[in-house]
Structure 1
Amino acid sequence: MIERMLSRIVREYLGEFPAVALLGPRQVGKTTLALEIGRPDNALYLDLESERDKSKLALPEEYLWEHRERLVILDEVHRLPGLFPLLRGLIDRKRREGKGPGGYLLLGSATPDLLRQSGESLAGRIAYLELSPLGVIETGRDAINALWLRGGYPESFLASDSRTSFLWREHFLRTYLERDIPQFGFRIAAETLRRFWGMLAHNQGGLLNTSNLARNIGVDVKTAGNYLDLLADLYLVRRLPPWHANLGKRLVKSPKVYVRDSGLVHALLGIVERESLLGHPVVGASWECFAIENLLVSVGDRARGFFYRTSGGAEIDLLLEWPDQTLWAIEVKRSFAPKPDRGFYSACLDLSPVRKYVVYPGEERIPLPEGIVAISLFELAREIRETSRT
């Protein structure tokens, strides 16, 4: 059992809010985490994909009220969107009786419908948390290379060998395309969406050009934009926004786009073993996006992530803006002899970040000129995590 970073936060939120929604893609470990949290309190678990459990909710208000003293875990709650108004009424009844928070833990695959329904019905009564695939803090510094190759989905990361891990991811992609996405109400040809997803993997970390994506798969720009929205809504793709400030410089305005889990990137590109990855043209972009995603997951919602690029070549791979408006500038390198690009120095002159880092594959913390520090991904993720908790 790998302890998840979010475990403590879920428990804290259940002590503060009547309902907590734990969102994230399928197979990321939401159910395992929820059952672990609910075990000490004998929580009631209902899987709404199970006909047996759904049948218990033939009279949902009576059934749930009968169990009002227990934590109720509702898995795949988007299957019964009509529950949200009912939960609002039950929460309000419990409040009138002086019952405390922590009544409902809702699990969902981050569908737009789930967010809309819960937002309309449970406003002021619910908190949202995102469970991402396993990260470097959870798996440890010695597992970084395996995590990069296989990605952070538990079944993939913990597979007995690389071939088994790759086959799991292949089946995961196929299931998402052929079963899960249609169940969410989207009618998209599986092969077309697979090609679109694969193009994003080939262009990992590149600037968004929806027109090129649309042209390459033979759809219009609006349709390509809808595909991208869908994958982003399901937490499978991230759009990293550009930093905007009135600096008197021409700034890049398009977001960067990447597939969030490195293991899925490698599955989409047919990369099975580490040796194949190291010789593949995507290796640099894959490592950069793997590092950025892990750092963003480590910071949670305590800071906002951007990238910075000007037409003159100044660039920062990841710019963290903290609540007090201070900035951390982060460059990502694959080299064991890290040396920031000239554009990184120029960007730091533009923005004056309070901390400047170069993430590299080594372990030693190395001071560099102009206050820059070379640091391992694991150490920086842990430093960001500690800062976000203060």
Structure 2
Amino acid sequence: MIERRHRPAIENLLQRHPAVALLGPRQSGKTTLALEIGESRQSIYLDLESPSDLAKLAEPELYLAAHEDKLVILDEVQRAPDLFKVLRGLIDAGRRRGRRSDRFLLLGSASIELLKQSSETLAGRIAMFELTPFDAQEVVKGIGDMDRHWLRGGFPDSFLAPDDRDSAEWRQAFIRTYLERDIPQLGPRVPAETLRRFWTMLAHEQGGLLNAARIGQGLGVAGVTVARYLDLLVDLLLVRRLTPWMSNTGKRMVKSPRIFVRDSGIVHTLLGLETMEDLLGHPVAGSSWEGYVIENLLVAAPDNAQAGFYRTSAGAEVDLILSTGPGRLWAIEIKRSLSPQPSKGFWLACDDIKPDARFVVYPGTERYPLKDGLEAIGLTEMMALLGPRP
């Protein structure tokens, strides 16, 4: 059993806001967690992809008003955009009667429309929370197999599959469903095969600097079209764009973002890697591990954290820079080695940015000092240092 560590944070938001939006890609565990939260109080669950549940909302104001004493869980809420105005009216009416929290839990598998609609319609009434697939802390606490998590990724059905073959087949179906059904339903008119090729190209260059012109040449489209494809996958919470850390060091900085497919299991499926042996024998192994670590650290970081990478034309480079407040500027190097040694570029970068702490995250579990204030540290302990989300 994998216990979702974010449940207390979500319940805390429900106690302080009339509506909470739980965002995340499909199959990341939003519905399961919402139903668990609903079991602890009076609640009602509606799946807006179900015709029967959608029919109940033919007169949404009447139906929802009849359940005003319950927590109403609305799944795939972006499928019914007209509901947001109704929710605003019901929330305001409830506030006049003294109910200011614990009213609606909205689940959305894409941030594009949900964020747009809710920010405009429910401003001041809604809190946002992104629920990712299982993270490394949850997995290590529940099962203890980080390599399995790295190989299969964090989507529950993929991670918990009986074997690697079943896990890979689930991810293949997941990718196909997104390309052939989910993305077209959101409106963008992108050929499924073109988007698959683009997604696969990103996986091949996991963590690489974005070169839209070169990718566009490979796809036979313009650079602006590549940017549109990238925006789509970022908005769907499937790809992360890590921006350069802006510094006043006076050095010539790399300005292009680094691009990561967020779930490591999806990276491996896009590249046809099914087993750990396949993965470790592939050139992507190092960059896949780096992306895996970065994604988990950013999931663990507080919402106010600022993140980026540092790279100059002279070769100074840090994989990840995190700032979580005054006196907490951290330079983080990532190495898949039990004897991690940062490159010269890391030390040059530290001379430039002067971080408050320096870490190298490696696959081991022991935390120990190296030199010049640098510490080797395991991934889950590094996540714990970043602290729980508020």
TM bucket (normalised to shorter chain) is: over 0.9
| Equivalent in 142, 148, 151 of residue 150 of structure 2 | 148
CA-to-partner distance for each residue in 1:277-301, whole Å, 9 max, x for gaps?
Answer: 0010000000001000000001141
Structure 2: which 5+ residue stretches go unaligned?
none
Tell me how far apart the structure 2 counterparts of residues 365 and 325 of structure 1 sit (CA, whole Å): 21
Are residues 1:246 and 2:248 paired?
yes
Using the TM superposition, give the Cα deviation of residue 325 of structure 1 relative to its aligned residue in structure 2, in angstroms: 6.2
Letter in 2 for 1:119: S
CA-to-partner distance for each residue in 1:76-118, whole Å, 9 max, x for gaps?
Answer: 0011100001110100000001113110000001241211111
On the 8 A contact 2:47/2:53 being kept in 1, the answer is: yes
* Structure 1 residue matching 2:16: 3-state secondary structure: coil
Residues 300, 164 of structure 1: alpha-carbon distance in 2 compared, 3 angstrom cutoff: farther
Using the TM superposition, give the Cα deviation of residue 127 of structure 1 relative to its aligned residue in structure 2, in angstroms: 0.6
Letter in 2 for 1:97: R
| Equivalent in 189, 192, 200 of residue 190 of structure 1 | 192
* Structure 2 residue matching 1:140: 3-state secondary structure: helix
TM-score, normalised by the number of residues in structure 1? 0.98
Instruction: Give 1:112-127 correspondences, 5 Å limit.
Output: 112-127=112-127
Using the TM superposition, give the Cα deviation of residue 42 of structure 1 relative to its aligned residue in structure 2, in angstroms: 2.6
Moved more, 196-205 or 302-311: 302-311
Tell me how far apart the structure 2 counterparts of residues 325 and 307 of structure 1 sit (CA, whole Å): 18
* Structure 2 residue matching 1:359: 3-state secondary structure: strand
**Which residue pairs with 2:207 in the alignment?**
205
On the 8 A contact 1:204/1:285 being kept in 2, the answer is: yes
| Equivalent in 144, 165, 168 of residue 166 of structure 1 | 168
Letter in 2 for 1:110: A
Runs of 4+ displaced beyond 3 Å: none
TM-score, normalised by the number of residues in structure 2? 0.98
On the 8 A contact 1:150/1:157 being kept in 2, the answer is: yes
CA-to-partner distance for each residue in 1:303-342, whole Å, 9 max, x for gaps?
Answer: 1211011111111101001133631110000111111111
Tell me how far apart the structure 2 counterparts of residues 342 and 385 of structure 1 sit (CA, whole Å): 30
Instruction: Give 1:42-81 correspondences, 5 Å limit.
Output: 42-81=42-81
Letter in 1 for 2:376: A
Using the TM superposition, give the Cα deviation of residue 222 of structure 1 relative to its aligned residue in structure 2, in angstroms: 1.4
**Which residue pairs with 1:107 in the alignment?**
107
**Which residue pairs with 2:130 in the alignment?**
130
| Equivalent in 318, 321, 328 of residue 319 of structure 1 | 321
Letter in 2 for 1:48: L
* Structure 2 residue matching 1:206: 3-state secondary structure: coil
Q: Please report the RMSD computed on the Cα atoms of aligned residues, expressed in angstroms.
A: 1.1
**Which residue pairs with 1:271 in the alignment?**
273
The count of corresponding residues between Structure 1 and Structure 2 is: 388
Tell me how far apart the structure 1 counterparts of residues 70 and 326 of structure 2 sit (CA, whole Å): 39
Tell me how far apart the structure 2 counterparts of residues 67 and 53 of structure 1 sit (CA, whole Å): 14
**Which residue pairs with 2:342 in the alignment?**
340
Tell me how far apart the structure 2 counterparts of residues 15 and 349 of structure 1 sit (CA, whole Å): 45
% identical aligned pairs? 57
On the 8 A contact 2:24/2:111 being kept in 1, the answer is: no
